[in-house]
Structure 1
Amino acid sequence: MVSKHEIIEYGNEMPLKISIQNIEDMPRHWHSSMEIYLILSGSLTIMFEADTFKLSEDDIILINSNQFHEVKSNNTVAAVLQIKQSFFQKWVDDNTYFECNSVLYNDRSKYLKLKKLIAKFVHASYNVTEHKDLLVIPLAYNILYELIYNFRSFKADTPEKNFKNLKRLKGIIQYLNENYTENLTLETIAKREYLSASYLSHFFEKNMGVSLFNYLTGIRLRHAVSDLLHTDLTIEQIAANNGFSNSRYFVSTFKKEYGLLPKQYKKEQKEAAGSENGSKSLQSSMLFLKQQDFLNKLGEYLDKESQKEFPEAKYPTRLIVQSINTTMKKQFLHHSFKTFTSVGRAKELLYKNVRENLKELQREVGFRYIKFHGILDDSMMLYNEDKDGIPYLVFTYVDEALDFILSVGLKPLIQFSFMPRLLAEDPEKTLFFNPVILSKPKDYKKWVYLITEFTKHLLKRYGAQEVRTWMFSFWNVPFLSYIFSFESNEITYELYRITRNCVKECDPLLSFGNPSYGSLDFCSSEFYDFLDYCKQHDCYPDFYNIHCYPVKTSSIGTFVILGRNNKKDSEKDTIILSDDPDYMAHSIEDFKNRILSYPKLPIYITEWASTSSHCDWLNDTCYRAAYIVKNILENYDAVESFGNWCLTDILEELPMDNEEFHGELGLFTCHGIKKPAYYAFTFLNKLMDILVDRGEGYFVTTNGKGDYVILLYNYHHVSPLYAQGVLFNVTFTERYNAFVNPSSLDIHLTLTHVENADYVITHHQVNRESGSAFDEWVRMGAIPLTTEEEISTLKGRSMPKISKELVTVTNNTMAQFALLHPHEIRLISIKKMEYTPSCYRP
């Protein structure tokens, strides 16, 4: 990076600005503003006129106005605060000098207040969305006050740099930056400035602290490094292009500056980049994306006491008042959210814990279908070959898994995935901790045998009438924009057609859907190119099979699934979440609009969640429950299914975690503890069949017989910083810091045209006080559970709150009031009493 005299622009009322920067090397320069560096990662060397300081993580330094300095960075990330010097003129005179340099003092407590203020300023600047200035401007003034109060000093011998000198230096440096490739001499530059060569040399070195020739060489070297790393130019070409007299002199100068020959330097930089990017395997390059969360360092300065200085979570309270005519029936409800549930892989259906969880879910909710991956995996021991390479199939595990599914009232979506090792062209192309193989088959005839014989077996064992009620599909998001893809989309198209035709030849009435596809690329042509292929080859799917995760692609267009990190309090592997709280509604609308020119088919969302992350701590909290309720209620029956991913934290995609609440996607923890998300579905399941009214935060249903069920929710979207993968002051136990000023929700609903009668009204609540196992575990001390007694106790203490009351309606009007905490869901059941001789009121 070539340095320059910096011009910093400020808002009309803002005396400072802040940014988080990856710091690059900068030769000697200056600016009229003051500048503060707070080092978050790496190390930084700053050289002044006579001093050199090396700063590491947690160090802070202030560079005064018009103070010449040079910067050398070693993978440095810093919070950089730039302060308008003229703003200080109200309180300080021209002799004021600020001495703020943590390298000079052993006592770090001197700088803690300033660091806290900077952390708050960053938090407010990046996170607060409403009335930001009212919070940010006072913090800016507090920072200025702290500098004046604790870091102001006076130096009589502070070097004077008058305006005329600075203007001349600016012109010289600009000329050097624009003409560094030319054969510049001291004489030619001096002549341009109307100075003698000796005076120019003395003038430049006195003011900049480095000779003009060495400064020019530094500019040339930095450009040469860029060419070395990013082009295939020879050493001779690089030297000539950047103003060096010959390649020998360039190499000598380079080695003196960087300690290596240019070719060695280039090799080391490439090796470092390769190891960092993880190019050795599909798993490291495409599955895991680790974003270093440097802002977590700032979050460490925000202790609980300083966090209280932000607006309280209970303020302000939002109010919704609605009068609802109960005779205005809006629609009959099909409850399509109950179409699909899911587990990770077919193999998991053989595990006792998973089976018990699924049985309980079916007793309390009752889904109709189940999705899972990997029925062809080697873990199911289905595909085999004899010593002559002749294939044969063993259905023992497959039958056991399918028999269990049917026994609990479910029907399967048979997704033909993933590739058996003996059939894989490239068995080393794998994904996940417990790997699955993503290769195409090495022998397409054997693939046809596998699919055909599998389908025939299902028809024979379970009967055509039963199997025709099942669903079939090929692979999991095998298109190029996803990590499960083959080498090309053409391979995906062909394998889909072959697989579909095999199934249809066994029984043309079997329902076969497209390979699943995700909403992150509904706007791209990829999926619609697939549908065009289907039209050309007469192999349209029988239903649309899509996913809906509110995540964005990585820089290389790859769908990202998270890895896991054990540093609970400082780092988290991340993906980028959408900042749109209505992502699902907009995705469904967009998809429906884009398929208007294609066959009108049922649309099944077979996977969705608030994130695709296996280690997002919010998965364990009340937020996930509110997210589920909000999105299902606001899109009720908009598609044929909403298949939440997934049932349990027992997944084998990533290493298992000893922490009970490690942020996995399940409704149950590994020990079968129900999370708030589980109760979202039990609440939804109590809704009645006729919709009366709905709006932000509420959904009113009836059975048409005088009974009502109301479901309420208080949803808050994650903060802009958290959506970008930045934890800041979010820690393993303080997870709700992911939200900016979440407010309570005061709902007043008045039901009119209600039959005069006595009613039993029951409230079921899930919030941080009731129904949240994670919050209860924190109250228990946030210490790992080690005994069955502790697990059972937590299960018992994290049930939803239930309260009941008797109400008599005499004027055909019933009022319901509810104050919902942030992320709370509440079910209100209103049941008309039917009196019998044994029924009485106390």
Structure 2
Amino acid sequence: MMRSNTTAKIGIAMLCLLFSGISYAQQLQKRTISINVNSVKGNKSTVFNECIGAGRANEGLRADWQQQLAMLQKDVNFKYIRFHGLLHDDMRVYTEDKKTGEPIYNWQYIDRLYDFLLSIKIRPFVEFGFMPADLASGTKTIFWWKGNVTKPKSYDRWNALITNLVQHWKERYGEEEVSKWYFEVWNEPDLKGFFDGTQEDYFELYANTVKSVKSVSAAYRVGGPATSATKWVADFLTYCDKNKVPVDFVSTHDYGTTSVLDEFGTKKQQLKSVRDTIAKDVKTVRNLINQSAFKAAELHFTEWNTSPSSRDPIHDTYQNAAYILHVLKKASSDANSMSYWTFTDIFEEAGPGQTPFHGGFGLINLQDIKKPSYYAYQFLNQLGGTELKNMDESSYACKSKDGLQFLVWDYTHPHKNYSYNQDYFNTAQPAVAKNLVQLRASAVANGSYALEVYKVGYQQNDPYTLYLEMGKPTQITKAQEAKLKQAAAGKATVKQTVKVVNGKFNYDVQLNENEIVFMTLKKIR
């Protein structure tokens, strides 16, 4: 019912405009994107697919997790993946003999996981954590799966664990391969929920871990502080400079809401009103690095998203996809990677998701249904490797051997009846028309081209809206699952042959609020 009513309202609005003698397109704000095929900006940024997040290591042993990641790799081709819990007891990495108290190392689960990752051409962005129970100084834990967040009871034993594990990787995968990995120390130690210690305690943990990794190879890259909301970075760099502790990269996290930790998804989340908050934070951290003794250090935002809650409905929406493109375009010049948290809803910090769409972080839901955000990443990857100069801040124009590609979007902050994400995004949000995008390309080779247009927006590759129309069923039938997958199939809305004459390609397309349009122009003769 909602679908037909919305269509009717739009149709009535168009008829009213036509009877008044004014076309519907004339009422839209014109947005002209002018590019010259010979005017090159440079190589397309790869910040978007350098790294992707996942929940915890043990989830990576699941068949469905591995199948989803393999699918994503074909469409986006991420270079690294980062997750928690590598040293957690469910990976059985470290135990102590009950009689002698001697350490017992077991790398078998890690080997199975890392072998799979490398087989699909994605490398580990290693996060050292959390603490094995037998090595822990306390019993404090976080999450449904109870990751231990205390310091080691013995730095001699912690250092031996790290050294032996890294040495094992060197022997199994080779010096050349492991030298391409990143080694990050802990996760969000500034938050008591994640690290039951002080800043000084974390710095001690970092210094010991760096020493252990580099005792295997000085070439291996180690960094931190992996903090929430870009905290501790200046103090971290000062400490490392003063104490001659290496820093190969700086890592930190950022989310688009005022909250930084929502362990069980119970908090009300609200987007920050500043549109470019994450991009500004990225630039601030880059400037801190540039002003430090570690100017050559890379910058990796090893977590970011609209919200830090794994029960926030914004993650399922088409608006989330537009937000992703907005952030990545703005932040790309200052970061080496922006690791979206996470690729899948197979994610159990608050326990398994209880409904097909439950606000999980993932680009893919539990039933392998691609969310709108999935296509934001797929479209970025399908852009050609050469970016063209373009004054429009919410678009890309690229070229490849096959032809031209254009990615255009609108990001509009919720502006009507918006309070909290959990309230606003729990109901369908029809989009209003925003722009008439006028694409004007010059110096295009004359000839015939295959034009394809793809859209992501309200009711376009938008399974969540359809799920809401179904009444938000707690469980879905096979028929409903098939219908949702069909709604997210990523099919072109336009497929036609066009001719380029006098080197000019002109194309107009209506763009609604928080909509994405991806176009490919491939020469056929």
Distance 1:702 1:321 in 2: 19
**Aligned structure 1 segments of 4 or more residues deviating by more than 4 angstroms:** 312-316
From the superposition, tell whether residues 383 and 699 of structure 1 become closer, same or farther in structure 2 (CA, over 3 Å).
same
Q: Distance in 2 between matches of 1:471 and 1:325?
A: 39
Conservation of the 8 A alpha-carbon contact between 2:135 and 2:153: yes
Separation in 2 of the partners of 1:804 and 1:543? Answer: 45
Deviations 1:770-789 (A, max 9, x none): 21111222344543444334
Tell me which residue corresponds to 1:561: 262
Once residues 333 and 406 of structure 1 are traced to their aligned partners in structure 2, the CA distance between those partners, rounded to angstroms, is 25
* Equivalent runs, 1:304-453 vs 2, <5 Å: 317-386=28-97, 387-427=99-139, 429-453=140-164
Query: Which amino acid in 1 is paired with 2:227?
Result: Y
Amino acid in the other structure paired with 2:462: S
Q: Decide which of 449, 452, 455 is 1:765's aligned counterpart.
A: 455
Specify whether residues 647 and 323 from structure 1 end up closer, same or farther in structure 2 by C-alpha distance, changes over 3 A only. closer
Residue 697 of structure 1 corresponds to which residue in structure 2?
Answer: 394
1:493 partner letter: F
Shift of 1:686: 0.7
Query: Structure 2 CA distance, aligned partners of 1:415 and 1:455?
Result: 12
> What are the equivalent positions in structure 2 for 1:48-127 lying under 5 Å apart?
none
1:538 and 2:244 correspond:
yes
1:352–1:637 Cα change, 3 Å: farther
Alpha carbons 2:318, 2:372 under 8 Å: kept = yes
- Once the two structures are superposed, the pairs formed by residues 195-344 of structure 1 within 5 Å of their partners are 317-344=28-55
Identity percentage of aligned residues:
30
Contact 2:286-2:335 within 8 A present in 1 as well: no
CA distance in 2, matches of 1:351, 1:541: 34
**Cα displacement (A) at 1:446:** 1.3
Q: Does 1:592 align with 2:289?
A: no
Shift of 1:456: 1.3
Give per-residue Cα distances to partners, 1:654-697, cap 9 Å, x unaligned: 03232111111101111211111111111111111121133133
| Structure 1 counterpart of 2:356, from 653, 657, 660 | 660
Q: Deviations over 1:344-363 (max 9, x none)?
A: 11111101110110010011
Q: Secondary structure at the match of 1:595?
A: helix
Distance 1:721 1:430 in 2: 38
The 8 Å contact of residues 341 and 371 in structure 1, kept in 2 or not, is answered as: yes
1:714 counterpart = 2:410: yes
CA distance in 2, matches of 1:400, 1:735: 42
Normalising by structure 1, report the TM-score: 0.57
Alignment size in residue pairs: 501
- State the 1:620 CA deviation: 0.5
* Code of the aligned partner of 2:394: G
Mapped contact 2:271–2:421 kept (Cα < 8 A): no
Which position in structure 1 is the counterpart of 2:500?
809
Matched, 1:736 2:426: no
Residue in structure 1 matched with residue 196 of structure 2 by the alignment? 486
Match of 1:575 among 239, 262, 269: 269
Deviations 1:524-577 (A, max 9, x none): xx3211211101211131111122212325xxxxx3325345xxxxxxx31343
Query: In structure 2, do the counterparts of structure 1 residues 706 and 667 end up closer, same or farther at CA, with 3 Å as the change threshold?
Result: closer
Contact 2:452–2:520 (8 Å) recurs in 1: yes
SS in 2 for 1:515: strand
Aligned residue for 1:662, secondary structure, equals coil
Q: TM-score, normalised by structure 2?
A: 0.90
Native 8 Å contact 2:233 2:288 kept in 1:
no
Q: Which aligned pairs between 1:171-210 and structure 2 lie closer than 5 A? A: none
CA separation of 1:506 and 1:322: change in aligned 2, threshold 3 A: closer
User: SS where residue 40 of structure 2 aligns?
Assistant: coil
Tell me which amino acid in the other structure corresponds to 1:799.
A
Confirm or deny that 1:517 pairs with 2:227.
Answer: yes
d(CA) in 1 for partners of 2:329 and 2:235?
A: 32
3-state SS, counterpart of residue 805 of structure 1 = strand
In the alignment, is the contact (CA less than 8 A) between 1:562 and 1:615 conserved in 2?
A: no
Cα distance 1:772–1:809, how it changes in 2: closer, same or farther (>3 A)?
same
Instruction: Find the counterpart in structure 1 of residue 21 from structure 2.
Output: none
> How far has the Cα of 1:491 moved from its partner?
0.6
Matched, 1:642 2:343: no
In 1: Cα distance, 2:199 partner to 2:82 partner: 24
Distance in structure 2 (CA, Å) of the matches to 1:332 and 1:509: 27
Letter in 2 for 1:622: Y
Q: 2:148 and 2:375 mapped to 1: Cα distance? A: 35
CA distance in structure 1 between the aligned counterparts of 2:368 and 2:446, rounded to whole angstroms: 44
Amino acid at match of 1:693: K
Residue deviations 1:22-73, cap 9 Å, x none? xxxxxxxxxxxxxxxxxxxxxxxxxxxxxxxxxxxxxxxxxxxxxxxxxxxx
Change (3 A) 1:552 1:720: farther
Query: Are the equivalent residues in 2 in contact too, given 1:318–1:743 (CA < 8 A)?
Result: no
Distance (whole Å) between structure 2 residues aligned to residue 619 and residue 726 of structure 1: 10
Which amino acid in the other structure matches residue 439 of structure 1?
Answer: T
Distance 1:720 1:644 in 2: 27
Structure 2 Cα separation of the partners of residues 735 and 563 of structure 1: 25
User: 722, 725, 739: which is aligned to 2:420?
Assistant: 725
Q: Deviations over 1:550-608 (max 9, x none)?
A: 2325xxxxx3325345xxxxxxx313431111112211221222222212211112211
The letter for the 2-side match of 1:795 is K
In the aligned structure 2, how far is the partner of 1:343 from the partner of 1:657?
15
- Paired residue for 2:209? 499
Q: Check the 8 A contact 1:767/1:823 in 2, yes or no.
A: yes
Q: Does 1:748 align with 2:460?
A: no
RMSD: 2.4
Kindly provide the CA deviation profile for residues 329-368 of structure 1, in whole angstroms up to 9, marking residues without a partner as x. 1122242211111211111110111011001001111111
Give the aligned partner of residue 617 of structure 1: 313
CA distance in 2 between counterparts of 1:503 and 1:719 reads 49
Q: 2: distance between equivalents of 1:335 and 1:685?
A: 9
User: What letter corresponds to residue 207 of structure 2 in structure 1?
Assistant: R
- Cα distance in structure 1, aligned partners of 2:346 and 2:369: 12
Question: Does the 8 Å contact 2:314/2:425 carry over to 1?
Answer: no
Determine helix, strand or coil for the equivalent of 1:629. helix
The residue type paired with residue 378 of structure 2 is T
- Name the CA distance, whole Å, in 1 between partners of 2:322 and 2:170: 41
Shift of 1:735: 4.4
Cα–Cα, structure 1 residues 720 and 766, in superposed 2: closer, same or farther, change >3 Å? closer
Contact 2:233 2:285 in 1 (8 A): no
User: Would the aligned equivalents of 1:772 and 1:799 in 2 still touch at CA under 8 Å?
Assistant: no
**How far off its partner does 1:381 sit?**
0.7
Amino acid at match of 1:542: D
> Aligned pair in 2 of structure 1 residues 345, 720: CA closer, same or farther (>3 Å)?
farther
What's the offset of the Cα at 1:415? 1.0
Please give the alpha-carbon distance, in whole angstroms, between the structure 2 residues aligned to 1:819 and 1:562: 40
